[in-house]
Amino acid sequence: MAAAKRISHANTSSPYSSGYKASKKPRSAVTQLTSLFLLLILLFPITVVRGLSGQQQRLKQGSSLSVENLNNLLVSPKGTFSSGFYKVGKNAYCFSIWFTNSFDKTVVWIANRDNPVNGKNSRLTIHGNGNLALTDGDGSTVWSTNTFLESGEEVRLLETGNLVLTNKAGRIIWESFKFPTDTLLALQPLTKNTTLVSARNQGKFLSGFYNLKFDDNNVLNLVYNGPQISSVYWPSNIVNVFDSGRTPYNSTRRAILHEDGRFASSDNLIFNASDSGARLNRRLTLDHDGVVRLYSLDESTGLWNISWQPGGLNTCLVHGLCEHMPFALIKPKNHLHLP
């Protein structure tokens, strides 16, 4: 937030200074109202701005967010994350969550990834039956939480980036952390029931062909899941799972990115960000090229730095990648390699 400007006054005298002289003319009613209005703005600037922008921290049952007002947003308590309608094409919008202070408003979750809605009359609503639903311009439902029997009362965007639907008792009955798209946030678990799915192309949000998920042998894999074939490309299938430092003996199938940049998985995959230890905004994203990368946000520029990516994963080994590129991608310098 920009620093507030100091307000200077031409007349610095006051009733408590020796040089003060009362005005001979009484102040008019208009002048008094103007002064009162300015005083209210000075006393309550945040309230006025938030009211005009349409930002809010919770959505109650019976309330909606409208696609027509792109400033009609849910924000996390400290403003790290925002959620609302995000433009993905000409007259095409997705209900999304993004990093507020990133340069390009980096999206980390999308409700209707493969079914964008119209730029008119589309809404996100908590209905009286407790279901949170996204409706298109014609009124058809394109996505919902399917919480008809759970009595959803309120939607909030937590400071972790988790969008949650709670009941009257405040218990979470649905959360976006259990339905990731291509990104894992700090403290968001990746489990046997969740999968990261890459975007189709850079800058596009349609589901792609690369997956990060646990296999039936309890090992976290990168998988090419194309229209005709499916194949694991990381860890390498040339060596056995133990030689790659993994183990299939832990059936928990759970991985998590910690706030300090440490990633730990039940199959013994452990790595640290190159800037680990610092409490930065981080994201683990399966990019459109099939490579999973850990990013850290530079708050001063709003740009992302790569702080880790798998060692030994040549981008040409990613199934299908070099078939569409004339050359291999150059690896970034600021990343760590797995042993």
pLDDT digits 0-9 by tens, 109-139: 999 999 999 999 999 999 988 899 999 999 9
Q: What is the pLDDT of residue 245?
A: 87
Phi, psi of 298 (to 5 degrees): -85, 105
For the chain, percent of residues with pLDDT exceeding 90: 60
Half-sphere exposure of 143 (CA within 13 A, CB side): 18
Residue 199 in contact with residue 114, Cβ under 8 Å? Answer: no
- pLDDT of 96 > 80? The answer is yes
Q: Which CATH superfamily groups domain 47-169? A: Bulb-type lectin domain (2.90.10.10)
Q: What is the pLDDT of residue 323?
A: 54
CA 229 to centroid of chain Cα atoms: 31
Query: Do strands 282-286 and 292-298 pair parallel, antiparallel, or not at all (unpaired)?
Result: antiparallel
pTM to 2 decimals? 0.78
Q: Which residues pair with 184 in a beta bridge?
A: 284
- 179 vs 311 pLDDT, higher one: 179
pLDDT single digits (tens) 150-167: 777 899 999 999 999 999
pLDDT single digits (tens) 155-210: 999 999 999 999 988 999 999 999 999 999 999 999 999 999 999 998 889 999 99
Class of domain 180-339: mainly beta
- pLDDT of 36 > 70? The answer is no
Q: Closest by alpha carbon to 79, among 177, 186, 185, 157?
A: 157
Q: Closest by alpha carbon to 51, among 67, 71, 32?
A: 71
Mean pLDDT, the chain, rounded, equals 82
Delimiting residues of CATH 2.90.10.10 domain(s) in the chain: 47-169, 180-339
CA 157 to centroid of chain Cα atoms: 10
Strand order in the sheet with 141-144: 64-66, 123-126, 132-135, 141-144
Strand order in the sheet with 230-234: 196-199, 207-214, 220-225, 230-234
Q: What is the pLDDT of residue 181?
A: 98
- 4 vs 296 pLDDT, higher one: 296
